[in-house]
Amino acid sequence: MLKNDVLSILKSNKGKYTSGQDLCYKLNVSRTAVWKCINELKSDGYIIDSKHKSGYILMEEPDIINYTEISPNLKTDFIGRNYLYFDTISSTNDYAKEIASDSPDGTTIVAEEQTSGRGRMGRLWVSYKKQGIWMSIILKPDIAPNDAVKLTQVAAVSLVDAIKETANLTSYIKWPNDIIVNGKKVCGILTEMNGELDKINFIVVGIGVNVNVDSFPVDLQDKATSLSIEASKKIDRKLLTASILNNFEKYYRTFLDEGFLNIRNLCKEYSLTLEKDVKAIMNNKEYVGRAIDIDNDGNLIVMFKNGEKKAITSGEVSIRGLTDYI
């Protein structure tokens, strides 16, 4: 895309002017085409100064997470290499499912804002514009359909590591799909599968991260937080987006090549749920027990008060602490 090529050249010459003639020569286009690209970049939020006989200089970059901005830090082979960026979208997961059949493995949809974001069990997910990371990854693994649920936990360990790398915060996994910092939720994961009895057509892993959200509705203030609130500083969304994708590809490959054991061990290490008394909410009934393990299928093992142990799958239950969300 010509606009991205112009931006790449301006970035490579940051701090000095690039003449319009040089841009025309390097890109083999007309001055009019360059001028149009400059105006488009300005409309996107890039601050570009122009000076007669000197050319163009990039003064300031906007806080956006398009491919041009995250790609310098992207180390993946295929995750995120087909990167579809939107300013606003209803739901990245819904769009991913629409295009999945004709999209390559690892296609990633990223939006600055979702107008109809949702979490597990159809819960509303508020996606603040340019204050978070709202993304979905399309996967086409050759695995059994009942193994698809494990990709939620692949994503979870990826997020814990990415948050540590970019925000220097320690986070934990509230089984099966929430990431917690200092007792409050900063991130949720929604994994959806399209398949048949013995075959997966595609899987969509949706990830929503509260990055630089500075306030929450009253009813969420005791449950939700953002990385910037917890770190007391603004977090670089570009670095974090790339880090999430880098870590996801690393752990996804580990899962495909070596099985679930290493992922399971990390889930247990990062778990905020294990060795706690929990309420398992099943069919509108509450059962109190103690979370004692995560098994080889990614299920949570709960021992109930009557001594019965049950392997709980993420699709059938909500897990809560006895007195609060955690």
Could you tell me which residues are annotated as the binding site for biotin? 91-93, 114, 118-120, 185
Q: Quick check: bond before 72 cis, omega within 30? A: no
Short-list 198, 179, 182, CA closest to 190: 179
**CA 236 to chain CA mean position, Å:** 14
Task: Identify the DSSP state of 142.
Answer: -
Residue type, 163: I
Q: Are 234 and 62 in contact (CB under 8 A)?
A: no
Residue type, 204: V
Q: Are 67 and 83 in contact (CB under 8 A)?
A: yes
Quick check: helix, strand or coil at residue 204?
A: strand
Q: How far apart are CA 262 and CA 278, in angstroms?
A: 25
Short-list 58, 279, 82, 86, CA closest to 174: 279
Annotated binding site: 91-93, 114, 118-120, 185
183's tokens:
């007792």
